[in-house]
Amino acid sequence: MAIKVTVTNNGPIRIEGEPEELNICDAQGNKFGLAGRAVISLCRCGGSSNKPFCDGTHNRNGFQSVCEARELPPPKPKV
């Protein structure tokens, strides 16, 4: 199963995949212990008390953001 990332409307970024393939790391490259989870939700609203993971705060703070899929422009060449 390929890893699937879904940007939910007015909610978190949901990541689904085989537990052994899901690696969420901090800025130093240390892995978060995910306890075998196959689905992880990352906070987009900034209000979670369990960052970077979603704790449902977006439902209470009125977070709104709808993202529709689109094509990105090609990356700029590295100089």
- Amino acid 14: pLDDT: 98
Domain limits of the chain? 1-66
Whole-model pTM: value is 0.89
C-beta atoms surrounding 11 within 10 Å: 19
- pLDDT per residue as tens digits for the range 14-60: 999 999 999 999 999 999 999 999 999 999 999 999 999 999 999 99
Domain 1-66 sits in CATH at 3.40.5.90
- In terms of C-beta density within 10 A (0-12 exposed, 13-18 middle, 19 or more buried), how is residue 17 classed? middle
